[in-house]
Structure 1
Amino acid sequence: MPLVSDTGICVRAWDWSETSQTLWIFTRSLGLLRCLAKGSKRANSTFSGGVELLTRGDLIVSTRALEKDSQSMTTLTTWDLAEIFPGARATLTSFHVGMAMLDLVQHSMHENDPHEQVFDTLVASLRQLGEPSRDVAAIATVAWIILVETGHTPELARDVRSDGPLQEAKSYAFSPRLGGFTRDDSTASSPPTSLSWTTRSTVEVGPLWRVRDTTLALFRALARDTNVLAAQPSAHDAATTLRAAKLLLMYFREVFQCEPKAVGVLLERWT
């Protein structure tokens, strides 16, 4: 029986029986795994008393089933609790941010496809939670690195409609369908209850969301250094960071054509 040691974060957990669980675990070296943890809830088991969401553990899994079918469930044989991320439970908003991070991972990562940079960024961002400015910076950083790692980095230098250089302006329009910024042709103001002003132009361009130049500047800073927000979250304008985080989450939903529940809750809280 092939046994592999790794470290992972519990993304989803369900009771399979009175003593066992089925799990989604995002691991550093193996990627996203569906696991069966037999006897994980027994007090004397090798699972630290059970596997919980928003925790990191050192684990051992049997990958024998994957050799026959890459979509099969692995068998989790050991889970040694290593980290509980207390900041994720410090406030209700921090908890929603942590759960939204797990949503982003579950809806974007393919099974058995490792993304070590996403994993490392997720761990660092979960450790950062517990205070409003850090919460916003953390979710923005995780959303950004996932978009980059999955090939959906926003275009920041060229106009996605004209394909020419993106001209400096006070506001822009963001096209989630084209994955970048274009000139803002609107003179209408943004609705007070939403991040974006939305209109329909051509079928090719799709919806356009109106954004400020400071949001684009923050995206460019993230492109230069993914850790720019995590290093000093309070050093950046809070309103700009929040707008950037909301735009990234909305773009994520368009790219992956999904409505993650925790992401929706978070966007509602930030409206």
Structure 2
Amino acid sequence: MKTVSDELLDELVDYMREAAEGEILPRFRSVTSDSIRAKTMADDIVTDADIASERVISERLKARLPDITIIGEEAVSEDGSILAKLADADLAAVIDPVDGTWHFAHGTPMFGSILAIVSGGQTIAGIIHYPVLGDFLVARPGQGAWHVAADGSQTRLSVAAPSPINEMHGFIPLHMFEPGMRSELASRVLQFLRITTWRCSAWEYRMLATGAMSFCLNESLKPWDHAAGVLIHAEAGGYAATLAGEAYRPTMTEGYLLTAPSEKSWNLVCDALTSSL
């Protein structure tokens, strides 16, 4: 498995900043109807900013690392066979150019850009950029998770402290689950202090890794949503696995992913959500 050096990490951050400043922010709050297209459903949309920023990041990566495999969300949307390359790639970049496109397209600042570098099926660097704020979350295995402010100052991240179920805050997108499971979960979430969904993995992982929220249950395993975030969350002290108990891997495409502050907390949340499901 390869590693990401300090120098390369800084370059990756620069690529994401360049894409944000050149392609994303100039289009923010100036999105027009002819620059938005639906993908799989009416509220699963893509904008010119998604496509342009993915192109910029991909071009910079290819110029710096010619042998890297690019797994971009928008490229996969056009050609699903690209995703299969992730499993065998010696080095791959998984890109979500604008995560939270619905927010971006409707003029709210809760969106981000996500980049994961994967080697041998493991994430070796995770970076999430928040263009409006100008800051980043970054992590590499064994080196902690960090908030990097717009001025370059760094603060180590830590997940929420242990707490009983009735004091936990969590993210669960109930509307995304199939109807049978949705109705079961809807009755169980009343055990927690607060449940919400922000429709944006970049921001949900920020809240988890900074300790603002306790847990998240996801109904899909798209690598551009989770490969970087799970590493950042883990390096901040968190624990993630599917409801079946499998440790998360970027190559996973099926299952429900649950993240929590610790393995003990994970078991508590899992039991609360799934007993007799």
Query: Fold conserved (TM > 0.5)?
Result: no
TM-score range, shorter chain: under 0.3
Q: Using structure 1 for the length normalisation, give the TM-score.
A: 0.28
Higher Cα radius of gyration? 1
Q: Using structure 2 for the length normalisation, give the TM-score.
A: 0.27
